Chains A and B, each alone.
Chain A
């Protein structure tokens, strides 16, 4: 249950919405438990129910799909890369200074498609195949989204680290 709650919290970014989403997911799972095929992945089944619930209940509220200017992010990423002469800005210790809330916010601000894959892969430990099944997309798409999601997150966390003074502007 914790995995589902953690995922719903990261997806909705709100504890009340996360509560409702988990509750609704379990009630649907209970009602449709006869649809679960014994021997298949129960966790993946529950996550699929949660995804459908999320789409039906929460995504309806979004008027249009989120758009992201990935080119801009890619350029920013390349700037960071060429501006740094050493790997100091790639040390994990620097980013450990960031608060959990800042990290959660950075993840929450990712577009939904990218947020979903990064949570499922890096937090929930799903394989690419399981994620592909979850998001109804080929494994190659999952890999591509993950690649971009991590780059986006890196640029975001790098900016946070500079704002907080953990990295100096001289480095960029």
Chain B
């Protein structure tokens, strides 16, 4: 029995060819002369063979494609950031102050990643250029790299609302006041003939909050813009959807008749505090 206790686990290593040759030879001699050890050896060998022959599950083709698509999307985003950095250092005409704000914002984006959230997959299922979530995140990047600039620059919410109305926005817009943040301005975009409202906030530390809002009817039957059905239902149920990726936080919520998409380089938690209960 003593011999059995000393060697029984070594038998496993023998079966897995994990023993040095000399130990292996010694153990084989012991096994041949001991029925208990021999039995264990046969069992270990048998189970290893059975498990090795067990059905090998191959990755479904649809899953492979889904992963490739996701990586491609993330890769494109990463390239966009890189182009922007290169652009900054090629253009000496950037005013020092503006460049500083942008660099701080970018540094926060790159070096202050926030943890993933449970609704992570709901974010990644948003696809296509006519998707509101995708557009909002793209617009935020454009805002950072100067491709999107406010058409009206003001800290007055009333002025921005008036601007939206005169530019043809047909729905009632919501411009909440945010503690420690000032309004920067607004811009109106055109999507299939419909005018859509966007406005921006900033604090004095280089943080930007971009808010894109549309009337919910614009998302019905994907008339002007779309979001996935799952996300739409999630918002309809009164939930606040948040997503954080590479230091960029996105929050979507429904207020009155509007769907709001808010993108920022502040943390997801800060966005939730500011927008989930407005």
Enumerate chain A residues within 8 angstroms of B64, measured Cβ to Cβ. Answer: 1
Q: Which of A95, A100, A103, A143 has the most CB of B within 10 A?
A: A143
Partner of B18, one of A103, A123, A127, A153: A127
Given contacts A26-B71, A30-B74, contact A153 B59 (CB under 8 A): no
Q: Does B44 contact A (CB under 8 A)?
A: yes
Are the C-beta atoms of A19 and B49 separated by less than 8 Å?
no
Enumerate chain A residues within 8 angstroms of B58, measured Cβ to Cβ. Answer: 2, 5-6
Given contacts A6-B57, A22-B63, contact A154 B47 (CB under 8 A): yes
Partner of A6, one of B18, B48, B56, B63: B56
Q: Which of A144, A150, A151 has the most CB of B within 10 A?
A: A150
Contact with A along B223-248 (1 / 0, CB 8 A): 00000000000000000000000100
Which stretch (B5-13, B98-106, B140-148, B167-175) binds chain A?
A: B5-13
Are the C-beta atoms of B67 and A26 separated by less than 8 Å?
yes
Enumerate chain B residues within 8 angstroms of A107, measured Cβ to Cβ. Answer: 51, 54
Chain B's closest residue to A20 (CB) is: B121
Contacting residues of chain B (180-229) with chain A, CB-CB under 8 angstroms:
none
Q: Does A81 contact B (CB under 8 A)?
A: yes
Are the C-beta atoms of A92 and B50 separated by less than 8 Å?
yes
| Interface size, B (range) | 35 or more
Q: A5-B57, A27-B67, A95-B50 are in contact. List 18 more A-B contacts (CB 8 A).
A: A1-B64, A4-B59, A5-B59, A15-B60, A24-B120, A26-B67, A87-B42, A103-B50, A103-B51, A122-B47, A122-B48, A123-B52, A128-B18, A143-B10, A143-B12, A143-B13, A150-B48, A154-B46
Selected A-B contacts with CB under 8 Å, 11 pairs: A1-B59, A5-B58, A26-B71, A81-B39, A95-B46, A107-B51, A118-B51, A143-B9, A143-B18, A151-B43, A154-B46
Interface positions of B (Cβ within 8 A of A): 8-13, 16, 18, 36, 39, 42-44, 46-60, 63-64, 66-67, 70-71, 74-75, 120-121, 124, 246
